[in-house]
Amino acid sequence: MRKFFNDLNIRSKLILLIGGTVCALTACVLSVVWFQSLKQVRAIVQNQLDATRQMFATAQRSHWRAHGFEVASVAASADVIQALEKRDSEAACAAVKRLLKAPRPDARDSHVLSYVAIRLPDGTPLAVAAGKHPPCDPEMLSWRLPDARGSLNGVAEITTWSSPDQGPFRVFVAAVPGRSGPIGSLGLGFQVDDAQARDASQRAGVDVVFWQEDEQNQAYVLGISDANLRSHLTSVLDKQPDLHKPFDFDSARGEYEVEEVVVTDTGMTTHNPAGLHMALLESVSERMKPFRALEEYLGALALAALLLGVGLGFIFSGPIATPLVNLAVAARDIEQGKYEVIEQLRASHAGRLGATDEIGDLSRAFIDMAGGLQQRFAMSKYMSRSAYQMLEQNGSANPAGERKWMVVVFSDVRGFTAFSEDRDPAMVIQRLNDVLGLEADVVRRHGGDVDKFVGDAMFAWFFGPDRCKRAVDAAAEILAELHTRFAGKAGTEIGFGIHVGEVVLGSMGSQDRLDYTAIGRSVNLAARLCSAAKAGQILVSQAVATELEGTIPLNALPPVPAKGFPEPVRVFEVDLAPSKEPVPA
């Protein structure tokens, strides 16, 4: 099966991957169905909430009409009429007391009558009872009671009123009939509190809340049917939402929607000076329960389809993805010089390398390319860094060569020929590699480049700012490290020649074998200075001394003859004792 799949072309593999994609798309479709179902369910729930609100408004309208009929019936009673006709305060007070103690007309009505007022046509009260105050308390006669004059036209009124020391009341007012017209008014009212909210909740079938809104649009809860919801609703009201639109809040029992209910067409004139509002608290979470099973079922189907698609994609993409991932890892290893990964790929992916598909071709091409890189990396050790960088950037050197100014450094091991004659060749090569390796490391640290090693000699150069100082510092450091490491052992003492000037850089040699190097009088002069240097001595030319500008102590030496130069060359020795003053060039 694996061999069959490896031999398939890339298109066949993609067809298998499409199968997994289809599974994922199926899961997405189920997810869309799930969300659409949720949307539809919420719409159904909203319709149910609207229906509940309308039914509650109808029930509340009937309830208020019953109160309107009650206040009109009581206003037409003989004791109330006689008290107003005679303007008898004592009779009015007795009538008020009887009304407060009388049982409610409807046994299901849990309202407690908490406001009774018998008033003359001009609004002057004959008798008043409100809240917890004793009936006919003289203090209440000075209060500003709700305006009841509108009821004298024969139409009962519903109004709201806030007493000076207690919460708001909802008051029903009717005119008291006389022989020639209304002789006053009667008001019956109920304090808006939790008890009234619980009573309204029985008619609504859901929780009910009453709140009062002040002039700054800040709402305060007056009564709520479920005391556990008070703190949650209060925290939302403190944020001053738009109370004329439905809004939500969360509680320990789930999500609730708050929607104000406005009762109209009661047949009575309605006023609301106290700013009272009534709203339903409907549990959306409770309404949604019957649909949660459907949502969970659709969610489970979507998850199963998604897992199936991912599983199929994982199974079928492995033969494609794994080789490519391994090639990418191998490429990063090769970039870091870990060429042993080539043999590891051959050993661990023999089957893949033998496949006839495009990935097999890619794997074989990668192995061949990596082998070529390994060979080039091995060959790069035999090239200078400048030559290697030039080939990387341009692919080949300028065949005509180029002229550049640079510092040329030559070093040579003193007495190495005599050292190598009577010693083991392996020991000679090891000693030479130690010395030359140390020189090359120091040169690179100081920004120079080793062009080549010729026997026990090193040819290096420096470019850029402070080139002379870096070259001299590198030579001094080499001498110090050699002394520290070998303490003057045979084959480890060297001399340096350093010159700065113009050279010719280019590729030189035959068509089959080229060498990227520098030639010219500057190179020759540096080589002659190196030949003249003793062990542990650094000789620099006049040009180097001039460019150093006294930054390094130098000792002037007698001019020395140099082969190829008609006149003796002025020479300076680098003073390796830092306490001495530099010699002017």
Give pLDDT tens digits for 408-439.
999 999 888 778 887 888 888 888 999 999 99
Question: Are residues 413 and 265 part of one domain?
Answer: no
> 57-61, 180-184, 282-286: which range is least confident on average?
282-286
Which residue among 380, 411, 437 closes a domain? 380
| Co-location of 373 and 419 in the same domain | no
Cβ pair 243, 214 in contact under 8 A: no
**pLDDT-above-70 percentage for the chain:** 80
Q: Is 326 inside any structural domain?
A: no
Instruction: Based on the fold, state whether residues 193 and 273 are members of the same structural domain.
Output: yes
- For residues 152 and 120, state if they share a domain: yes
Q: Residue 28: its pLDDT value, please?
A: 78
For 254, the enclosing helix (H) or strand (E) is strand 254-260
**Residue 477 belongs to a domain with what CATH number?**
3.30.70.1230
Residue 3 lies in a domain: no
What pLDDT is attached to residue 579?
43
Which pTM does this prediction carry?
0.51
User: Is residue 52, in this structure, part of any structural domain at all?
Assistant: yes
Same domain, 359 and 282: no
What is the CATH number for 90? 3.30.450.20
Q: What is the mean pLDDT of residues 72-76?
A: 93
Domain assignment present for 318? no
Same domain, 375 and 403: no
- Residue 175's nearest CA partner among 200, 158, 150, 198 is 150
511 located within any domain: yes
Rounded-to-integer distance, Cα 65 and Cα 158, Å: 10
The verdict on 430 and 373 lying in the same domain is no
* Residue (of 138, 137, 136, 164) closest to 146 by Cα position: 164
Tokens found for residue 295: 């949502």
Range of 523's domain? 397-574
Domain co-membership, 67 together with 131? yes
Tell whether 78 is covered by a domain.
yes
Cα torsion for 476, 478, 480, 482, to the nearest 10°? -150
Last residue of a domain, one of 226, 259, 286: 286
**Does residue 17 fall inside a structural domain?**
no
Residue 581: inside a domain, yes or no? Answer: no
401 and 434 inside one domain: yes
Are residues 474 and 356 located together in one domain of the fold?
no
Final residue of a structural domain among 325, 346, 380: 380
Count of H helices and E strands in the chain? Answer: 17, 19
- The tens digit of pLDDT for each residue in 80-91 reads 999 999 999 999
Q: Are residues 408 and 369 in the same domain?
A: no
Question: Per the structure, how many domains does the chain have?
Answer: 3
pLDDT at residue 539 in the model: 95
Residue range 309-368, pLDDT digits in tens? 667 666 766 666 677 667 767 777 776 777 677 777 776 666 666 677 767 677 677 677
Q: What CA–CA distances, in Å, run from 529 to 162, 237, 457, 564?
A: 114, 95, 13, 12
Does residue 525 sit in the same domain as residue 434?
Answer: yes
Structure confidence at residue 583 as a pLDDT band (50, 70, 90): very low
Of 554, 444, 537, 528, nearest in space to 482 by CA: 537
